[in-house]
Amino acid sequence: MKFTEGYWLRSQHVREHYAAQVWEMKEVDGGMSLLVPLQATPHKGNTVNVPCLTLTFLAVGENAISVKATHFSGYDTHKPEFELTKTMQTVEVSETDDECVMEAGKLTVRVRKNPFSYSFESDGKVITTCGFRNLGYMEWDMEPSTMLPSDHYLDENRKKPYIVSELSLSAGECVYGFGERFTSFVKNGQSVQTWNEDGGTASDVAYKCVPFYMTSAGYGVLVNHSGNVQFEAASEKVGYVGFSVEDESMEYIFFYGPDLHDVLRRYTALTGRPALPPAWSFGLWLSTSFTTSYDEETTTSFIQGMKDRDIPLSVFHYDCFWMREFRLCDLDWDTRQFPDPEGMIRRDHEKGVKVCVWMNPYIAQNTALFEEAARGGYLLMRADGKGIWQTDNWQYGMGIVDFTNPQAWTWYQSKLKKLTDMGVDAFKTDFGERIPVNVRYYNGADPQAMHNYYTYLYNKCVFELLEREKGKGNAVLFARSATVGGQKFPVHWGGDCMATYPSMAETLRGGLSFAMTGFSFWSHDISGFESTATPDLYKRWAAFGLLSSHSRLHGSGSYRVPWLFDDEAPGVVKFFANLKCRLMPYIYERSVFAAETGIPVMRPMELEFQEDPAVKTLDMQYMLGDRLLVAPVFSEDGKADYYLPAGRWTHLLSGEVREGGRWYSDRYDYLSLPLYVRENTILATGACQDRPDYDYEKDLLLTWYQPEGDAEVRIAGQDGSVKAYVSAHRDGSRITVKVKGDLPGLKLRVFGMPDAEVTITAG
């Protein structure tokens, strides 16, 4: 939120109080606490009628420092708290006449007493600072109180209280993250509100808002506030990232790398690591689309059509109108179109296809489920006490499930269990953003702060049910909304994009920003949700979609089966679906790594090549894992401009080798795109190309591209366990490979060295 009008002038809506000096310091467990007057106090006579902040620094994890500024400590909005795992660290605190210092691991917090400022430092280097007019308490739209007898007598609450903090940026420092944002990948110059809303992919409104950002200087910041956090990313003050909350206190947590991988490791250690999705979920998903008409004959024809064209299909998704119109979301099949849903699901399974169904937590009034929920007290209530909160915005008279009520939680899971008992394998947890604030929750939670937090409870409830019914490692969602911690319940997809090249590009930008906030598994609607793509766009987007962690053909008012686009489209979808299946030993092991570390499968170039200044702004290409570079084609003429970082890169499909550290511009047919293997990579590919879930360790092909010195790779099974480790060493033309574990039928190829002498040993 902007409290200034330009750099010097204050908005007349605000009465500002900025941190002026440190009055006293005391050591506390894990850190230090400072009393910070909000105006200069040169002597005791200046210490009355002075607002202060209590500023506490705590070491809550490895290279992770919590900073909490509190004005009124008795103020309680009953806001929900993110589920964080804080691990208190050993610290050293010292004080002199001029400063207070806290040392924790590689991080040092240095606080200057007068005038007030503080800095985060490591190895004697300043990382970022908070100083002149950077920390304050703001009274917004304040109505004056009075000392005279009236309704306003000593009324300190006739205002909106804000805590604001700002951290400095160095010259050229870039800011990333804030969730799945479709605006420019580099967030410098943007005002960002973390307020989830159903806004599509073409604006600054986002489905998945996360109050966390990282910068190219190697640190990240999480504002630990479940309500709307307002950021000014080099916008209100171009040399700072500012963040503010409407509250009497604010905590943020500072994570230092300096490698951005380590920032994500530390952030997800605190907020949660993603569950590992089942191997079958990485295959191609096909949807009925949103508002189309369909019945079992239609869906069967789609599944059979994919089989007839030899296109591997893993999941069939029944969207929206598997239920009856005006009865969403009562979780009952429309038996006019699907008279035998249990038998239909069984028949789908017999074809080797998993089943996903659409849902959301909104229940239309015209349903038995609404009546049952109303009787049980399972729906959000009106804030004015006049019964259940209802709206016609989406479904007639709908109510919303109150997941803060433990009985509602259990009741809702029991309704989903009826579907899993039928054989449903996964749920598309749509919506979760249209959450009102003029409501009362069962547990008394602040409805403003619950607006974003609601999606965490919603997706957790559904994911927990799937884990219980399908077993850990076999649960997967297709979720649209998220907040801090939502990465624990994969997969998420990018929402309602248009069938255009600019929308395809904005979709990728959203996914890259999302990856910078700790989410490891992400998908999008291949060819766009709204409107119908041209055959050209459909084929280009198919390549991009099938080189994402998860891949789904989905749309709004028309079907997305490839043979409806042109004669060439089925072959393109088949080609890239086959390729993804062959790449599954690599993709799945990188997914296991993501579940272990929080480092995503799809990675922005800046995350992987932080030391290369040329990659800071790149948002039309990405890394799939750490070894494959992908640059989708975003133009009708088939031209792609892309950058290869330093090193030698081998095109996976053509075998062409190119030197990095420079830009390239090429044209591609529909069966290719810039897809390069990083030098000194041992790439594991499988022998199966018609399904994603198979024994990756059998008949494995290991290809060592541009070998230099030493390289290694590990092989994971589809159960998520590591089955084998392979290490290789090159000495001239001699290649020595050691295999630890059982890899029957293993083949090894050394790319570019046809005369290599290869020795494979166990050990």
pLDDT at 141 over 90: no
Q: How far is CA 510 from CA 199, 507, 539, 637, in A?
A: 13, 5, 21, 24
Dihedral Cα 339, 345, 347, 348, nearest 10 deg: 130
Q: Name the percent of the chain lying above pLDDT 70.
A: 100
Q: How far is CA 256 from the centre of its chain?
A: 20
Q: Name the percent of the chain lying above pLDDT 90.
A: 94
Residue with tokens 């005002």: 191
Structure confidence by residue, pLDDT tens digits, 236-247: 999 999 999 999
User: Are the beta carbons of 434 and 392 closer than 8 angstroms?
Assistant: no
Give the integer Cα–Cα distance in Å for 197 and 451.
Answer: 9
> Looking at beta carbons, which pairs linking 449-452 to residues 24 or more positions away fall under 8 Å?
449/77, 449/79, 449/80, 449/225, 449/226, 449/227, 450/79, 450/80, 450/226, 450/404, 451/195, 451/196, 451/227, 451/228, 452/194, 452/195, 452/196, 452/209, 452/226, 452/227, 452/228, 452/483
pLDDT at 301: 98
Mean pLDDT of 70-86: 95
Q: What is the pTM of this model?
A: 0.97
Structure confidence by residue, pLDDT tens digits, 573-593: 999 999 999 999 999 999 999
Mean pLDDT of 508-528: 98
Beta-carbon neighbour count of residue 717 at 10 Å?
19
Structure confidence by residue, pLDDT tens digits, 294-336: 999 999 999 999 999 999 999 999 999 999 999 999 999 999 9
pLDDT at 77: 87
DSSP string, 697-716: TTT-EEEEES--SEEEEEEE
Structure confidence by residue, pLDDT tens digits, 248-296: 999 999 999 999 999 999 999 999 999 999 999 999 999 999 999 999 9
Give the integer Cα–Cα distance in Å for 190 and 177.
Answer: 12
Mean pLDDT, rounded, of the chain: 96
pLDDT at 514 over 80: yes
Give the integer Cα–Cα distance in Å for 102 and 605.
Answer: 34
pLDDT at 204 over 90: yes
**Residue 332 appears among annotated catalytic residues:** no
Structure confidence by residue, pLDDT tens digits, 431-449: 999 999 999 999 999 999 9
Beta-carbon neighbour count of residue 12 at 10 Å?
7
Residues of the chain by 3-state class (helix, strand, coil), percent to 5: 20, 30, 45
Measured at the CA of 206, the angle between CA 134 and CA 626, to 5 degrees, comes to 85
User: Are the beta carbons of 629 and 619 closer than 8 angstroms?
Assistant: no
pLDDT at 503: 98
Catalytic choice (62, 496, 506, 619): 496
Catalytic choice (262, 330, 433, 679): 433
Give the integer Cα–Cα distance in Å for 268 and 599.
Answer: 9
User: Are the beta carbons of 550 and 523 closer than 8 angstroms?
Assistant: yes
Please report which confidence band the pLDDT of residue 752 belongs to, taking 50, 70 and 90 as the band edges: confident
Give the integer Cα–Cα distance in Å for 668 and 633.
Answer: 8
pLDDT at 171 over 80: yes
Q: How far is CA 271 from CA 68, 255, 484, 672, 758, in A?
A: 18, 12, 7, 38, 45
pLDDT at 441: 98
**Residue 433 appears among annotated catalytic residues:** yes
**Residue 637 appears among annotated catalytic residues:** no
pLDDT at 42: 85
The full set of domains in the chain, from first to last, is 1-73+88-143+161-168+219-226+251-256 (2.60.40.1760), 288-359+405-567 (3.20.20.80)
For residue 585, give the H/E element and its range: helix 569-597
**DSSP-derived pairing of the beta strands 381-382 and 399-400:** unpaired
Catalytic choice (173, 236, 402, 430): 430
